A and B are shown apart, each in its own frame.
Chain A
């Protein structure tokens, strides 16, 4: 059976970071390229920390469900939380053309997630936020000996 992840996390930064070994194992099991492994780790960190910092900001952190699976060449991820309605795709985009003086701090997490995945979607279903993404691994798998 393909290795998949389906876990419930406490809505805290520590809990979010604690899932890293499982994500690493997932990447290894599926022979993801170093780049895809990085991007997957990054997207999860960005989206999950947004849920902790924004979605559950005003309430006691409920659980965050994280599901990851490999479907053909794609990694499919789903993050479900019961915080207040929070659509990460509507966070203001950073101005990536701004000069150093004008550049505002913040806003990069979702921008990176949107740009580096093949599809990032959000839906409010009942009282839950459901964020999904697809990550295509276009690079060769991790190799023991570089040729």
Chain B
């Protein structure tokens, strides 16, 4: 299994998750658990900062979608930032860019998540 490392930071009502390295079929469940845990704790204003993410596959995209739905159901927002060009293409092809606020910088994402 590819080791998954997800840094989590809470800034007031916003939680920033920063997965590092790869999210793929071998560790997507672990990513899902961590994200859902935060949502279950009542954190519904989420930023996923992908600046340290080298690779994500559909297994990881599935987690992003699930998180987005749950956060929305809780009246919150999931914002994304730091997507590399290829990862952005993967999200675009998947139709995800129109589902979430996507920005270059973490600051912009924090603003989107707090809106």
Contacts and interface: CB of A to CB of B under 8 A. Distances in A.
The majority secondary structure among interface residues of chain B is helix
B55 A38 contact: yes
B25 A106 contact: no
Chain B interface category by residue count: 20 to 34
Contacts of A116: 89-90, 93
Interface of A: 13-14, 16-17, 34-35, 38-39, 41-42, 45-46, 49, 94-101, 103, 105-106, 108-109, 111-112, 115-116
Contacts, number: 69
Interface string B71-103: 010000000000001100110011100011000
A19 to B, nearest CB: 12
Contacts of B93: 96, 111-112, 115-116
Contacts of A49: 25, 59
B65 A35 contact: no
Interface of B: 1-2, 24-26, 55, 57-59, 61-62, 65-66, 68-69, 72, 85-86, 89-90, 93-95, 99-100
